[in-house]
Structure 1
Amino acid sequence: MMRLLGPAEIRTLANKLDLRPTKKLGQNFVIDAGTVRRIVRVAELTPDDVVIEVGPGLGSLTLALLPEAAHVVAVEIDPVLAAQLPVTVAERELSGKLTVVNADALRITPEDLSGRAPTALVANLPYNVAVPVVLHLLQVLPSLRKGLVMVQSEVADRLAAGPGSKVYGVPSVKAAWYADVRRAGPVGRNVFWPVPNVDSGLVSLIRRDPPATTASREEVFAVIDAAFAQRRKTLRAALASWAGSPALAEQALTAAGVAPSTRGEQLDIAAFARIAENKP
């Protein structure tokens, strides 16, 4: 079995690099090998999968992913950590299966990935950018078929929420454009260094086709943004500026088969697509 990083090795590496984890970069490193193995197990990787890992940090999860996948593309914004990761991996003779990209995951394009087309996203995501990173990667990497990400517990709830839930909102609906999203289990605080002041959760994503619609993704997302910008209002009122007036909003809603008195939190992604199609 692959020798993974434990608390002592994590701290040794951190001292070597004079590393002080920063809130700005959302750095909380996993120090529990059991948690890392659980993530890889729940991700259900195949030997053909090319994994993209965002925020590999010191390599705790990377080391567990490498034996299970065809290749791992690790995207790390911190240049010191990006330089150390190949060294850590080389000590375990798995260098040929790793590509490290020193970049901001929010700006990654397929051209940045050295010809690799990732099929799976598996990552302990920096909490401050988790939702934008997930949505960006699903948008720009159509090769991604599945994902398992560790995020702040309340973010996991929001991503996986369905219509009618109190926490259903923009992240829930936009993620549903790309994938079936569900909670895949809780993660305690003590598996991290430094220990965060929030609980974490795993979120599973399985790619599926977006709703059949003549509207573009941008057009559908514009409706979603407008609907939730004033989520307490009825859609007739909330979509007034998007449509041009409350009356035009009502016209679009009626044509889409949605009652004008409905609120955004009651609609699924297909309904938002129908509204976008019927913009006056």
Structure 2
Amino acid sequence: MTDTSAGPRLLGPAEVRALAAELDVRPTKQKGQNFVIDPNTVRRIVRESGVSAADVVVEIGPGLGSLTLALLEVAGHVTAIEIDELLASRLERTITEYAPNQAANFGLLVQDALRVREVPGPAPTALVANLPYNVSVPVLLHMLQLLPSLERGLVMVQAEVADRLAAKPGSKTYGVPSVKAAWYADVRRAGSIGRNVFWPAPNVDSGLVAWTRREPPATTATREQVFAVIDAAFAQRRKALRGALRGVVGTAEEIDAALASAGIDPLARGEALVIGDFIRIAEGLPGIVATRNEARADD
């Protein structure tokens, strides 16, 4: 007789490789595929995320389902977004086999996370994911913008990206991801993950980034205008703001006036400013050209 009180069984190295062999999946760097094979690691991620039975979780890139199963142990509902149709074709059956009592609490959206415009089902309250390294920052920023219902989250990304997302002004790692993430949330580093918990093992270390949503800044500038200022300020990060902003607005006089109004030294650099400084600058530049790619991940 099946124990109906049992929680999900998790995937270990043998199960992950067996599922991959069944699908004839060969993980590729191009798709950012590194499958977690250690049950203790996915349980740690879920524990650090603070997810409970009251949460509706959205997961990006579930792959073969390692983290998904751990989330289903504690979350009220999990919606997974998977771009790979082959992996997605097996995922619901994996959930049914390994977590039969939680299968009703699982939803799947087969789509590119960067192109998602709506997440079906109950409004997500948390984002927990092992994000593909090559698109981690754009995906995170897109989800934060798309889903205002998100209250908090924990993502695993490349260690260098984790450092950038959680960096503070004045540090060498502080840049575009740091400031744009700060528009939406308070962000912090939440630990490191070793390479040996993945198959195949990546050539880089991984880090955990946790964030807590806060109210969006009160401003007369749009998010796009603020992000345009951020992009310009870090496009040539050693350049003073007076020169860096010439790419997004017309005259030196307008820039000087905006910086003076914001109380910002025109010879300061973007790496010294917090999100509130960028907002005040944008408010003084009504003719600013909105950024072409507000989720850019560089610098």
Give the TM bin, normalised by the shorter chain. over 0.9
Given the alignment of the two structures, is residue 198 of structure 1 paired with residue 198 of structure 2, yes or no? no
1:31 paired residue among 31, 37, 41: 37
Could you list the runs of 4 or more consecutive aligned residues of structure 1 that deviate by over 6 angstroms after TM superposition?
none
1:270, 1:51 → 2: CA distance? 30
Given the alignment of the two structures, is residue 8 of structure 1 paired with residue 20 of structure 2, yes or no? no
What's the CA shift for 1:211? 2.2
What's the CA shift for 1:95? 1.3
SS in 2 for 1:42: helix
2:232, 2:247 → 1: CA distance? 8
Given the alignment of the two structures, is residue 177 of structure 1 paired with residue 183 of structure 2, yes or no? yes
1:108 paired residue among 94, 104, 116: 116
1:168, 1:211 → 2: CA distance? 20
Alpha-carbon displacement from aligned partner over 1:48-75 (angstroms, at most 9, x marks no partner): 1000000000000000001211110000
Given the alignment of the two structures, is residue 216 of structure 1 paired with residue 216 of structure 2, yes or no? no
TM-score by length of 2: 0.91
Equivalent residues of 2:8, 2:72 under 8 A apart: no
Written as runs of structure 1 = structure 2, the 5 A alignment for 1:261-272 is 261-272=267-278
2:238, 2:190 → 1: CA distance? 30
Residue ranges of structure 1 left out of the alignment (5+ in a row)? none
The residue aligned with 1:95 is: 103
RMSD of aligned alpha carbons: 1.0
What's the CA shift for 1:80? 1.0
2:59 paired residue among 53, 70, 73: 53
SS in 1 for 2:211: strand
Equivalent residues of 1:211, 1:269 under 8 A apart: no
2:74, 2:247 → 1: CA distance? 50
Alpha-carbon displacement from aligned partner over 1:180-218 (angstroms, at most 9, x marks no partner): 000000001000000000000000010011222111101
Q: How many residues align?
A: 278
Alpha-carbon displacement from aligned partner over 1:139-197 (angstroms, at most 9, x marks no partner): 01111110100000000000000111111111100000000000000001000000000
AA aligned to 1:199 is: D
What's the CA shift for 1:241? 2.8
2:126, 2:14 → 1: CA distance? 30
Written as runs of structure 1 = structure 2, the 5 A alignment for 1:52-91 is 52-91=58-97
TM-score by length of 1: 0.97
Residue ranges of structure 2 left out of the alignment (5+ in a row)? 1-6, 287-299
